[in-house]
């Protein structure tokens, strides 16, 4: 199956947005042990606080003020440019509630995310109406992927691909992973490698 003229979807957080520098800044500001990624920070804070309040506070900061320290994921611009040149339709489908939790300060989450996209080098690919979709739940995210009739979807969470409603006709790529519980999903270390796979296999 050729990837030309296909519909290609991306998750946003930890996929098109790399939070490594924001995580580092958060750890320094809050005098925490150094963590390299959001997943490492989440695991660490949940071990420290079983109530999950510390992680929710961190999450509220990372997805708002922390965006100023974040940058496009490795290879994201090059991949989007390549897909655009091959007449692919690009979409973002993200599970993002309107506001953070009480522990996170009830902060607006969608506005800062939109601002980040608009001010990044990726804006040229997603600056048209109906290119960015924020869904209230993970189930609604999966439903949106199906409604958009996407041919490909990239995410950093295996649980999206494990959802029983995830459309079987969509070719999924799990980012920053070496294995998936879904045997039909391809694992890729970064978006640079994903571009290679698309060129060589599709």
Q: What span, in angstroms and rounded, lies between the C-alpha atoms of 23 and 35?
A: 7
At 82-105, the pLDDT tens digits run 999 999 999 999 999 999 999 999
Residue 150 · residue 170 · CB < 8 Å? yes
**Using one digit for the tens of pLDDT, what is the confidence trace for 15-55?**
999 999 999 999 999 999 999 999 999 999 999 999 999 99
Of the candidates 197, 157, 198, the residue with the CA atom closest to the CA atom of residue 181:
157
Give the range among 35-39, 72-76, 125-129 with minimum mean pLDDT: 125-129
Q: Are 145 and 92 in contact (CB under 8 A)?
A: no
Contact criterion met (CB below 8 Å) for 55 and 104? no
Residue 1 clears pLDDT 60, i.e. is over it: no
pTM of the model: 0.94
Q: What is the DSSP letter of 68?
A: G
- The phi and psi torsions of 161 (rounded to 5 degrees) equal -75, -20
CATH 3.40.50.1000 residue spans of the chain? 7-18+72-201
The answer to whether residue 160 scores a pLDDT higher than 70 is yes
If you average pLDDT over residues 150-164, what whole number do you get? 96
Q: Residue 55 in contact with residue 97, Cβ under 8 Å?
A: no
Q: Is the pLDDT of residue 59 over 60?
A: yes
Mean pLDDT of all residues in the chain? 95
- Per cent of the chain over pLDDT 70 is 100
Contact call for residues 148 and 163 (beta carbons, < 8 A) = no
pLDDT at 108: 98
Q: For 185-199, what is each residue's pLDDT tens digit?
A: 999 999 999 999 998
Say what percent of the chain tops pLDDT 90. 89
Whether the pLDDT of residue 3 is over 80: the answer is: no
Hey, which CATH number is domain 7-18+72-201, 3.40.630.30, 1.20.120.80, 3.40.50.1000, 3.50.50.60?
Answer: 3.40.50.1000
Structure tokens of 31? 């005098």
């Amino acid at each position: 199956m050729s990837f030309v003229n296909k519909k290609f979807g991306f998750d946003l957080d930890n996929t098109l947005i790399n939070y490594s520098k924001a995580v580092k800044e958060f750890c320094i500001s809050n005098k925490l042990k150094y963590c390299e990624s959001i997943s490492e920070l989440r695991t660490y804070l949940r071990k420290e606080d079983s109530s999950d309040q510390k992680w929710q506070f961190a999450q509220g900061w990372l997805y708002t003020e922390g965006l100023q320290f974040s940058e496009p994921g490795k290879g994201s611009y090059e991949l989007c440019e390549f897909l655009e040149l091959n007449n692919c339709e690009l979409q973002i489908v993200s599970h993002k509630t309107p506001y953070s939790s009480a522990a996170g300060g009830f902060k607006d989450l969608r506005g800062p995310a939109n601002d980040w996209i608009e001010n990044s080098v990726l804006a040229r690919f997603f600056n048209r109406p109906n290119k960015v979709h924020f869904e209230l739940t993970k189930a609604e995210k999966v439903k949106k992927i199906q409604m958009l009739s996407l041919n490909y979807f990239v995410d950093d969470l295996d649980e999206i691909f494990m959802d029983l409603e995830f459309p079987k006709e969509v070719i999924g790529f799990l980012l920053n992973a070496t294995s998936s519980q879904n045997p039909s999903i391809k694992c890729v270390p970064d978006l640079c490698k994903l571009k290679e796979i698309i060129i060589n296999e599709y």
